[in-house]
Amino acid sequence: MQKVAILGIGQTPISENWDKSLREIAGDSAFAALQDAGLEKVDALFVGNMLSPLINAQNQLGTLLADWIGLWHQEAVKVEAACGSGAAAFRAALMAVASGEVESALALGVEKMSDRTSHDVTAALATAADADYEAEAGVSFVGLNALVMQRYLHEFGWQHADFAPFSINAHANAMHNPYARLHEKITAERFERSAMVATPINLLDASPTGDGAAAAVLVPAHKVASLKNRPRLLVAASSASTDTIAVHSRKDPLFLNAAYASARRCYEMAGLAPQDLDVFELHDAFTIMAALSLEACGFAERGRGVQLGLDHEITPGGRIPICTRGGLKARGHPVGATGMYQIVEVAQQLRGECGATQVEGARTGMAQNIGGSGATVVTHILRAD
Amino acid sequence: MQKVAILGIGQTPISENWDKSLREIAGDSAFAALQDAGLEKVDALFVGNMLSPLINAQNQLGTLLADWIGLWHQEAVKVEAACGSGAAAFRAALMAVASGEVESALALGVEKMSDRTSHDVTAALATAADADYEAEAGVSFVGLNALVMQRYLHEFGWQHADFAPFSINAHANAMHNPYARLHEKITAERFERSAMVATPINLLDASPTGDGAAAAVLVPAHKVASLKNRPRLLVAASSASTDTIAVHSRKDPLFLNAAYASARRCYEMAGLAPQDLDVFELHDAFTIMAALSLEACGFAERGRGVQLGLDHEITPGGRIPICTRGGLKARGHPVGATGMYQIVEVAQQLRGECGATQVEGARTGMAQNIGGSGATVVTHILRAD
């Protein structure tokens, strides 16, 4: 596979954005990424989005956005893998450039969720689960994750309060990210007092949705120079894996098989071990997912992911910094856009642009985006060259 | 780009299938394609589908189907480009294999449309148009095409009856295709008497929707042998292009710019001219689209596509046989699956499996799948090796 580099990145602040439409938000991130790359256009556009048919009455989003952005007559397509859509679009763009079919591509994740009621959005998010065997039974997406967390507490003997460090770290880091949805420090006390959503998941275990878009420009690596104060950002590894879509079909619902397989293949491709990574943007849609991701990706034994938080190993100065820009928990989770935010944030770390939450000397970082309750996992490792 | 070959194909009969669910229909085509290829599994699954979030309450369809088919832990993703989703999924699979990221891929198009009322389906199909500037104004998908056809009649002086040969040819060919939705010969008289849908488009100008799935297995060409009675099927060219999503934004709504650009690039890649093609499976969602496609792809001058039908040049024995298995008009148009039916049908022609509608000595064929009213166009040329 031909080596591919990230030439530019862009993102929009995540919020309830009443003043801009879906296409305007997407356009903002696209123009920022193109400007950052110093390009006016690219050969192809790959859009990651989950909910536009259901929330925005819009299909054919790739072409709609190519039209809006001014990529007239260029190739454009939408890629969907529930909350893993963003990274899936990035991987599609990567393969297009790596195959030689296109010379440049824009990967863009976008979601505009505020235009409907919470009730509508909850129903729309449930389409990530198995319609016939999960959603039809009435279980919501947070409900599925609550079942998993409850089982984890039972199986490994943790208390709910032990998950607080994940949320505290995410909120603390988001204070320094102007694009984050929430700028609000929290304490362990507040974490425990927070309103229950679906036992044992409370409001501060769960990530907020929102409107947002993030994008990156990909080109063959040989076309990019490594500049003194701006390293060349190589895509060192990329892998996608799946698990059963229904949680109840898994032999062990407490192990993220697809995250394990996808990360392991990335380590092989990049020639790295977990301890070689400087930063890990993981998919903390709920605090339980942060723990399970750390375990599946080799940073902790089964049932021990929570300990990393308690030991302060997940902060920007810790052994494996996660959610350095706020994570899904506090940067926000505009579902189909999240995977692209993660890629953009790892790129920012490798470019040394993260200020107070900069991981010193970061050279390699991993981004892992998850669709459904661990059903689709897309992992990338970036390296500063 | 590494050369890629089609190792196996599969399809299901198109119908209102009340006895099978979305996943069962998709599985039927997948198992048929894998059996035809002599494989038990593949590295990755690329699913083309437009309407499952809206009609089947299901997102993350790639992973759902990987799970159902038994491709556990393999990569899976959905690709969406409205009615162009099928060929877009095929192109995504092609780039994955061509990039070397995967050694084998299954491209699968599926749509299950019968589970909702016509009213719901009409609204769902309107999401292919621009939600803010077309659908919001109340124009349906057939309405948009009717505006284009009306303008064509006015501009070039044809009568509605002149479009009859497109429909007659499609229906005649479908008589010999066991997978076709309609097995019913029609006459020019019946074409003209048919009920009006949206002036000037009547029922026999329009393609029927339906439930169906079609699939193909792709592998690197060097892994396939050319057998005596079964040629190696090479993907000789692939290209995707876009136009403005809204028809009213185009300088000339009677010329399919994206079809022109996409076909032209395919001709260059394959080293062919239009007259070198033995068969052309085009996107006759409405008879007007058949005429416009023939013009954009170089088979007729602007405004003269209709003449090819009147001159009997589009039949299996004609100069450029189209809709040899019934086309969208009579084989049927399960929207997100259609592009894969076209690929499968061209492959059948090159394998000489088309019986009464076999194009004698067919060695090269083109399939062109269109999303929206010419907004996304994905073209492939296959060649028997």
Q: What is the pLDDT of residues B308-337, one digit of tens each?
A: 999 999 999 999 999 999 999 999 999 999
A25: which DSSP letter? H
CA nearest A326: which of A172, A220, A211? A172
pLDDT of residue A225: 81
* Closest CA of chain B from A45, distance in Å: 10
Orientation angle between helical segments B85-98 and B338-350, nearest 10 degrees: 60
* Closest CA of chain A from B222, distance in Å: 16
Chain A positions touching B95 (Cβ under 8 A) are 92, 95-96, 99, 101
CB B176 within 8 A of CB B348: no
Pick A99's closest partner by Cβ from B77, B81, B99: B99
* Closest CA of chain B from A332, distance in Å: 21
DSSP state string for A117-143: -HHHHHHHHGGGS-TTTTGGGT--HHH
Burial class, B157, CB count within 10 angstroms (exposed 0-12 / middle 13-18 / buried 19+): exposed
Chain A positions touching B44 (Cβ under 8 A) are 240
Would strands B196-198 and B201-202 be described as parallel, antiparallel, or unpaired?
antiparallel
For chain A positions 125-164, those within 8 Å of chain B (CB to CB) are 126-128, 130-132, 135
Cα separation, A33 vs A29, whole angstroms? 6
pLDDT of residue B230: 82
Omega before B178 within 30 of 0, i.e. cis:
no
For chain B positions 229-268, those within 8 Å of chain A (CB to CB) are 238-246, 249, 257-258, 261
Cα separation, B385 vs B373, whole angstroms? 34
| Segments of chain A with pLDDT less than 70 | 1, 228
* Closest CA of chain A from B342, distance in Å: 19
Cα separation, B78 vs B50, whole angstroms? 9
Its sign, for the CA torsion A109, A113, A118, A121, is negative
**Catalytic site includes residue B323:** no
Tokens matching residue B57: 């309450």
* Closest CA of chain A from B288, distance in Å: 21
| Segments of chain B with pLDDT less than 50 | none
Half-sphere exposure of residue A370: CA atoms within 13 angstroms, side-chain side:
29
CA nearest B11: which of B230, B210, B222, B290? B210
pLDDT of residue A195: 98
Tokens matching residue B337: 């699956």
Pick B81's closest partner by Cβ from A77, A88, A99: A77
Tokens matching residue B40: 């038990």
A50: which DSSP letter? S
For chain B positions 57-86, those within 8 Å of chain A (CB to CB) are 57-64, 66-67, 71-82, 84
For chain A positions 83-102, those within 8 Å of chain B (CB to CB) are 84, 88, 91-92, 94-96, 98-101
In angstroms, the Cα distances linking A104 to A42, A48, A223, A230 are 5, 17, 10, 20
Phi then psi for residue B109, to 5 deg, are -110, 135
CA B23-B24-B27 angle, to 5 degrees, is 85
A100: which DSSP letter? T
Query: Cβ of A336 under 8 Å from any chain B Cβ?
Result: no
Query: Could you give the 3-state DSSP secondary structure of residue A219?
Result: strand
Chain A positions touching B101 (Cβ under 8 A) are 1, 95, 98, 238
- Asked whether the beta carbons of residue B243 and residue A75 sit closer than 8 angstroms, the reply is no
Chain A positions touching B242 (Cβ under 8 A) are 62-63, 66-67, 71-76
pLDDT of residue A128: 96
Catalytic residue among B323, B333, B354, B380: B333
Catalytic sites of A, residue numbers: 83, 333
- Asked whether the beta carbons of residue A58 and residue B131 sit closer than 8 angstroms, the reply is yes
Phi then psi for residue B372, to 5 deg, are 65, -165
* Closest CA of chain B from A63, distance in Å: 6
Chain B positions touching A135 (Cβ under 8 A) are 57
Cα separation, B20 vs A275, whole angstroms? 49
Chain B positions touching A265 (Cβ under 8 A) are none
Chain B positions touching A375 (Cβ under 8 A) are 60, 63, 67
The model's pLDDT over A74-85, given as tens digits with 9 standing for 90+, comes to: 999 999 999 999
CA nearest B331: which of B113, B168, B177, B125? B177
pLDDT of residue B112: 98
Would strands A212-220 and A4-11 be described as parallel, antiparallel, or unpaired?
antiparallel
- pTM for this entry: 0.98
- Asked whether the beta carbons of residue B2 and residue A72 sit closer than 8 angstroms, the reply is no
Q: How many CB atoms within 10 Å of residue B73?
A: 17
